[in-house]
Structure 1
């Protein structure tokens, strides 16, 4: 009798539906080229990470590693993350492209996103934003606000992304101030606050009364505040560092893109695409105008931003010539995306060379 009861009980247990366990969370990592600060490149990507965690909750587990130099250190960190079981790894720096590709070959089951890179692989996607659209709009504001007809530009490296921004800024400025000149200083680094500040001070001493920059700290903004000049914030709103000096901020926003790509890994639809978003996609904006900007200037810039979003304005529409007098884009034509992505020239109005 007892044997029969035991057998019946065992059979009943076997017939019960199995309790389904939720799948383990997707582990997602970001590798950052500079320290996490209150504003700047790393801050914007960290806000993107936070947006992913907030949107996907327990389905994901996110972390970031900051201040990782490009090169061998980047490869070591990326490889270590892959070995720890991270299934999606974002590497937001141009110099991380080759290390990312190298590690990806050894971890085909891991998805990688090379942010600002351009080389893909079966498990490596690339993404970037059309920052140059915001730079063009900032140039319009600078052209309206300058009194010396000279702007300065503190730049990291002469790679296409930086040249796009420098050239678009100059074209935007000269669209409202044909006499405007833009002086550039190359840093050959992304993050070095003392050198960023020194470069800004040098440009102010060379008659620039407004500066823009493509580096990762708020040092240029603070220098403008100190000297009573104007500056274009980049990546983030930087009024906390330059409450009187900020002309406007060119900001970028990664939360929607990162969340979309994480969802695609979770549902099995991720593919190694190449994505390049801009004002139309909400990835790039000009906003956070400073107190010295007249309403008419703000309204003009925002109107051009709407034109960009609607496709009515192209910053690289001809005629354009380089700063040595050579024609680049004839009237009635515009640079193709391929040519923009490989930009290797400086437009008329830029005082400087491509650097090293």
Structure 2
């Protein structure tokens, strides 16, 4: 449902989040480096605490409904972002991105993700406002995605898409990096570095991620402000989380199952909501009776938190006797 949050609050919140993002990105742009475990831990803890605090502010300003929807949306988007880190790890490894440049690549990926998701949110909100039946499509897509996650993980191998292959044919690209530069000189000839291809790979991957995440969160709330802020808080700290988790990413073996349960649940919830809004209720003694069951917000939170908790504990118990490989540490520049 959509909530009437005060306009001054939405404007102030978006301005504050924008300033925070700019400051964070400027730090990376001016001093790209490999963050230590301590630094990464502090930043991740800071952004998680910030999201929790923002939910409390929503509770004070708008009540329990927007706060609950924000927490549900943020948890869903955050869990999807962690799963997306698997693909980022594979891309970094596939293109042999130097460790000191990986923060810059992640920064570009986050910017692209924010722009793409903002566009999808605006378009999604407008479509839903006019055509409630689109929830059937969203729900079916999420259930299909959930089935794909259960059947098999497509992220184990990364293959260049058509756009990247076309880019390689059209533009001259060297095999050697030149710091964080996109252009360099080889044998007196100006050429592009592999960094350009990496940016395209991250950007096209972000596009696919948005196709999953936006329908999922619209199944929890229809408020564009909550949808956008939940996405922003899920993306903030993603760079530091990448370096913090490192090889632990591959230990989360049951995360796809948890995401399948969450996306499948939200998909069914979307279909039920569409059925409820497009149906004529039964009448009993002059009072309408809702014949389609309503999924309460507290149940959504229980399913999301419960799925993630069970998957995390089960993964760590299953892999406790194994030594995680250095999967998140990309190769050093040679």
Q: Which structure is richer in relative contact order (CA contacts within 8 A, separation 6 or more)?
A: 2
The structure where strand makes up a greater share of residues is: 1
| Same fold flag (TM > 0.5) | no
TM-score if structure 2 supplies the norm length? 0.24
TM-score if structure 1 supplies the norm length? 0.23
The structure where helix makes up a greater share of residues is: 2
